[in-house]
Structure 1
Amino acid sequence: MATLAFPDFGRRGDAVDRLTITDPRNGEPVGTLDGATDGEVRQVVDSSRIAQVLWEQMPAEARGRLLREAADAIEAHAGELAELNTRETGRRQSDAIAGVVAGIDTLRQYAELGPMHRGHSLAGVSTASDYTRYEPRGVAVVLSPWDDPVAISCRLIGAALVTGNTVVHKPSERCPHLGLRLGSLIASVLPPDVLQTVIGGPHVGGKLAADPLIDVVAHVGSSAAGREVSRLAGVGGAHVVRENGGNDALIVDAGVDAGWAAREAGRGAFANGGQLCTAVERIYVHRAVAHEFIAELVAVATRMNDDDELAPLVDERMCEQVHEQVKDAVERGARALVGGAPDDRPGCYYPATVLVDCTPEMAVMREETCGPVAPVQVVDDFDEALIAAGNDRYGLSATVLTPQIAHAELAIAELPVGTVKINNVFGGAPGGSAHPRRESGIGYGSGPELLDEMTVAKVVHLAAPGGRGDRAMG
């Protein structure tokens, strides 16, 4: 397939990042793009500020109608977007299509939810009106990731737009061609400058986050990047919403079916090559079922490797980071029962890996491992598993596989994470939104509550001059 070529992003007067993307499946070139200069970032923010004044005045229903048109435009180009996703990040075609469909659905959901986002009437004197109203924050910066780029970008962009904010979107530097194409499709149905896409590395994201004319920054990505986003946004005073990395635990309790539990664990640890923020990162298995569970998990991993079911890692840098964590574990006493080293074929492939004899000081148990690695620690009882799962600096989500309702209720009450899943690693109703804990983020990153993050509340007291309300309060 030919290398992609996109036009230059405006004028250039200073040094720029040059983003060269290769296909992680085979190392073939995808394309090269120059990132935005500081001057171009300034122009984009200024024009977004101007456009926001009129965009806010458009009725919410009209903004919702345009979001539906944007969803239709994406739907008409779903195959193209999925192909770009696959070429830039290596995501399986079926998963890439599912991500596009999720993005389309999200835009349509916010198109309906936006006009219903309303304030509350307040109990005041009978001759006056007291209420709250929600108003857009202003200009929103959306910093989106590479692991599920279309779905997450549409979620953040949709919530910001429908509430009357204009948006400056910087997609991940690992999938800039996809980000540009997605942005062009959405922007094609909007007034000028309501949605603008800028390309670049961390420097561009930092310039946007620190800009004093930015009112809200929504970031999905690593915890290290999220901390820096919060620091920079604090300079300009922007409101920050972050959904960052996790080190999600899976507890396998006594009494579960070992084969079913292993399939759940494999699904959680190996889906998309382990490159999901809510992937299973560490496993605590009760000693009573440990032997059978580990044997079944090794069989799951072996079959996936033999059948070539895994997506590649996004790039060589990620492959190296994953292998460093695996090597650290082995050097500290862990054993790799399957996998444990990168494939020698072209591309960025790492096999499904099962590590046993893992201990808390190993990097694979302490840090997010963005790859298909399932580290297992055997525990003597459920309480030990619960304590180990909660003893972590992240707090995104956790999963418990148990036949005991008492253990499920205990886990729900005591696990210090935003989302607890019982007996299903990827389950959940649409629209669910949680507060990530600790280093996993700040604020609501999805659901109807994301509309609150994108707006500010104003309290109104409306009374006639010289009315009864004044005399009553006097």
Structure 2
Amino acid sequence: MTLLDQPGTARASDDPDGSRTITIVDPQDGSPVGTVHSADEADVAGAVEAAVRASEAWAATPPAARGALLHAMADGLAARADEVAALNTRETGKPAGDARGGVDAAVGTLRQYAELGPLHRTHSLRGADVAVDYTRPEPRGVVAAITPWNDPVAVAAGLIGAALVTGNTVVHKPSERCPHVGALLGEIWSAPLPDGVLTTVTGDGRTGAALVRSAAVHAIAHVGSTATGQAIAAEALHTGAHLVLENGGNDALLVDADVDPVWAAGQAALGAYANSGQICTSVERVYVHADVAEEFVAALVAEAERWNADGMAPLVDTRMRAEVHRQVSAAVAGGARVLTGGKIPAGSGAHYPATVVVDVASTDDLMREETFGPVAPVQVVASFEDGLNRAVASRYGLAATVLTGSLEHTTEAIRRLPVGTVKVNAVFGGAPGGAAEPRGASGRGFGYGPELLDEMTTRKVVHIGRPVLRARG
């Protein structure tokens, strides 16, 4: 198993001189974006060694000074926001507005950690009156940040910002599906920092494998697929690196009998089709109460057709599209029905339509696995309890949404859903800094918010007793 997904429309190649490169094409129309170097083991070792050399001085830098440099990183990104967003759209197909929103979110995240870092503290402890007891936060050392393609700027800002402001040095490995974006971020963000504090290595799965195998890496923060996260965890068993993993999800949406089915369909469509379904917390499976199922499904089909008419953004590449279509086709072969969408369109690029599938079996991959495409698979359930039982039965534990007017059903769902985030009556949203801890196959550790500062540090317990001084003559 490779440690990072191999590219689809991103083509990796070994050059005659022994070097490796990755070529990216635009998923919108198949036009070339460019070619980047794919770091080998020697390149990775050099990046880690540089991080190690810079580590002691960076850890000794006052937190306020580190925070000021994060503000400088944010300033640099803000000054080139349009450039970064446009490159993201070309490389991943992310809609222009969403791409710019991701850059703006990254700027805000860097500023948030710039302010939170100097305030990060642990606890005083109650001991003897004549002693002082407390815990001291210390950086872990070298952090490997391995970031995804679906929100590459905002996610990288969070992981890198939290690691740097707490005194760690960072080696950043962006997804091989957006190496140009990753390299540009590295150029912008490393500019105000001392040498070696932040290094970017672009490459494929072999690059990622070399990075996480390094014994000099003390923590690994990864956002990406479950298979990759599991492979990273296996390597960490040998190196002892601390892990922060946000991996795949199979997020359920429960539609209760008492809600407006047209409103609920709008929520389902937003959850399933935003960013062409390529969001970690996208709606992946829908359980709708039989009392409102007919109206809900009709409204969901209308919503899907509206999204298609407005123009769906492409998937990141044709390999991703092939996997989405495989899941849909396998469900249809098992008896499911496609009410709209479900066909690969003619022409270049990696487009796939907003799709509604009904009569899906619980054993189909479309209901069991992360699809990461604009597909809303629907099951009709006889009761809220039936839907909740089905929602609970998943190896993933990222997030889930409940649409209901019942306080009883709300509290029962919150209690029983084995996920890091439960959303009631809204598929997206929530207060800033609301860090969540994924469960099961979806990962471990807090990947966002103030809690990420705790993940990036260790705690040392300190006891200072009263000395007995030598008597003076």
Q: Which residue of the partner structure matches residue 141 of structure 2?
A: 138
Asked whether the equivalents of residues 256 and 402 of structure 1 are also in contact (C-alpha less than 8 Å), the reply is yes
TM-score by length of 1: 0.95
The one-letter code matched in structure 2 to 1:315 is D
> Structure 2 vs 1, CA of residues 16 and 245 (structure 1 numbering), >3 Å: closer, same or farther?
farther
Question: SS of the counterpart of 1:160?
Answer: helix
Question: SS of the counterpart of 2:401?
Answer: strand
- Write out aligned runs for 1:45-444 (5 A): 45-308=48-311, 310-444=312-446
TM-score by length of 2: 0.95
Aligned length: 455
Q: Distance in 1 between matches of 2:310 and 2:226?
A: 33
Q: Which residue of the partner structure matches residue 32 of structure 1?
A: 35
Asked whether the equivalents of residues 13 and 37 of structure 1 are also in contact (C-alpha less than 8 Å), the reply is no
Q: Distance in 2 between matches of 1:385 and 1:353?
A: 21
Asked whether the equivalents of residues 284 and 376 of structure 1 are also in contact (C-alpha less than 8 Å), the reply is yes
- Deviation, structure 1 residue 164: 0.1
The one-letter code matched in structure 2 to 1:340 is G
For residues 143-194 of structure 1, what are the alpha-carbon distances to aligned partners after superposition, in whole Å with 9 as ceiling and x for unaligned?
Answer: 0000000000000000000000000000000000000001110100101110
The one-letter code matched in structure 2 to 1:282 is R
The answer to whether the aligner puts 1:22 opposite 2:25 as a matched pair is: yes
CA RMSD of aligned residues (A): 1.2
Q: Distance in 2 between matches of 1:13 and 1:88?
A: 26
The one-letter code matched in structure 1 to 2:245 is R
Question: SS of the counterpart of 1:435?
Answer: coil
- Deviation, structure 1 residue 331: 0.3
Query: Is 32-41 or 155-164 further displaced after alignment?
Result: 32-41
Q: Distance in 2 between matches of 1:338 and 1:439?
A: 31
- Deviation, structure 1 residue 345: 2.2
Asked whether the equivalents of residues 244 and 444 of structure 2 are also in contact (C-alpha less than 8 Å), the reply is yes
For residues 295-323 of structure 1, what are the alpha-carbon distances to aligned partners after superposition, in whole Å with 9 as ceiling and x for unaligned?
Answer: 00000001111221x11000010010000
Q: Distance in 2 between matches of 1:67 and 1:211?
A: 27
Q: Distance in 1 between matches of 2:40 and 2:361?
A: 46
Question: SS of the counterpart of 1:164?
Answer: coil
Question: SS of the counterpart of 2:244?
Answer: strand
- Deviation, structure 1 residue 14: 8.3
Q: Which residue of the partner structure matches residue 9 of structure 2?
A: none
Q: Distance in 2 between matches of 1:206 and 1:451?
A: 25
The one-letter code matched in structure 2 to 1:277 is C
- Deviation, structure 1 residue 13: 12
Q: Distance in 1 between matches of 2:438 and 2:276?
A: 23
The one-letter code matched in structure 2 to 1:423 is N
Question: SS of the counterpart of 1:18?
Answer: strand
- Deviation, structure 1 residue 463: 2.1
Q: Percent identity?
A: 56
Question: SS of the counterpart of 1:212?
Answer: coil
Asked whether the equivalents of residues 40 and 206 of structure 2 are also in contact (C-alpha less than 8 Å), the reply is no
Q: Distance in 2 between matches of 1:99 and 1:107?
A: 12
Q: Distance in 2 between matches of 1:306 and 1:429?
A: 32
1:449 alignment partner, one of 442, 448, 451: 451
Q: Distance in 1 between matches of 2:303 and 2:395?
A: 29
The one-letter code matched in structure 2 to 1:466 is V
Question: SS of the counterpart of 2:460?
Answer: strand
Q: Which residue of the partner structure matches residue 6 of structure 1?
A: none
Unpaired runs of 5+ residues, structure 1, are 1-11, 468-474
- Deviation, structure 1 residue 125: 1.4
Asked whether the equivalents of residues 352 and 373 of structure 1 are also in contact (C-alpha less than 8 Å), the reply is yes
For residues 5-40 of structure 1, what are the alpha-carbon distances to aligned partners after superposition, in whole Å with 9 as ceiling and x for unaligned?
Answer: xxxxxxx99844421100000000000112112111
- Deviation, structure 1 residue 292: 0.2
Q: Which residue of the partner structure matches residue 7 of structure 1?
A: none
Q: Distance in 1 between matches of 2:385 and 2:433?
A: 31
Asked whether the equivalents of residues 13 and 39 of structure 1 are also in contact (C-alpha less than 8 Å), the reply is no
Question: SS of the counterpart of 1:376?
Answer: strand
Question: SS of the counterpart of 1:284?
Answer: strand
Q: Distance in 2 between matches of 1:155 and 1:460?
A: 30
Query: Is 225-234 or 389-398 further displaced after alignment?
Result: 225-234
Asked whether the equivalents of residues 421 and 436 of structure 2 are also in contact (C-alpha less than 8 Å), the reply is yes
